[in-house]
Amino acid sequence: MAITQQTFDFLNQLKINNNREWFHANKKEYDGVKASFEESIQELINSIGTFENLSGVKIKDCNYRIARDVRFSANKDPYKTWLSASFSEGGRKSGKMDYYLHIENGGSFLGGGMYSPTAEQLAAFRQEIDFSPESLKGIIFDPLFVKTFGTPEGEKVKTSPKGYDKNHPEIELLKWKQMFFWKKFTNEEVLSPNFVEQVTETCKILKPYLDYLNVIFFDHEEPDIQLL
């Protein structure tokens, strides 16, 4: 079952009526939307699993709840107005860099990368750039990668990170505090019969960058990344 227009219609109405009374009154419609999204998640587990180790990963390990955690948020809307899932070895709670899929009316995308690194991870990222900048540059400046994702997204320091000279030859890469990439999908692309295939092919292009991060964050050895 592919994602249908019903998904966007429901999310649009939820944005207008973001309260528990409306949600529970329309629970049957949500259940249908959730079921179609979960079928797409399973299809993606199967297809991404051909090049990533998703052994044992189930739908519940990828899917995010639609209910928002409002305890520490100024926004008290009880529900998200999008659907989302992420795919990685061990599931979304593993801590590994993952492929994140976001379905929202006019705002769907597939993304991934270094979004909230620990201080240790950021230090390892910068150290790897200092020691071997060509590894990262060969990935993010690859023509197909650039065509798909464009330039990096995320925050940068304004001058130079502590411990690095402002005249370092790779200072612009070293400035990144975050570095993630995303590819947007139109509603028409999301609703197309080959959407799972489009997402899968996008994941394959993103894979070398996620591999790069997972190696330096978790394997503590020099990355040996092969471009697809």
In a domain, 41, yes or no: yes
Give 219's pLDDT tier (boundaries 50, 70, 90): confident
In a domain, 86, yes or no: yes
pLDDT at 99 over 50: yes
Domain that holds residue 75: 5-219
Q: Average pLDDT over the chain, rounded to whole?
A: 94
106-120 pLDDT, tens digit per residue, is 999 999 999 999 999
In the chain, how many domains are there? Answer: 1
Rounded distance between C-alpha atoms, residue 110 and residue 85, angstroms: 10
In a domain, 228, yes or no: no
pLDDT at 2 over 90: no
In a domain, 224, yes or no: no
Give 220's pLDDT tier (boundaries 50, 70, 90): low
Please state the pTM of the whole predicted model: 0.92
Give 213's pLDDT tier (boundaries 50, 70, 90): very high
pLDDT at 227 over 50: no
The CATH number of whichever domain residue 205 belongs to comes to: 3.30.930
Rounded distance between C-alpha atoms, residue 79 and residue 184, angstroms: 22
In a domain, 227, yes or no: no
Percent above pLDDT 70 for the chain: 96
Tell me what pLDDT residue 164 has: 96
123-148 pLDDT, tens digit per residue, is 999 999 999 999 999 999 999 999 99
Tell me what pLDDT residue 1 has: 57
Rounded distance between C-alpha atoms, residue 57 and residue 66, angstroms: 20
In a domain, 96, yes or no: yes
Count of CA atoms in the C-beta half-sphere (13 A) of 86: 19
Q: What share of the chain is helix, strand, coil (3-state, %, to 5)?
A: 45, 15, 40
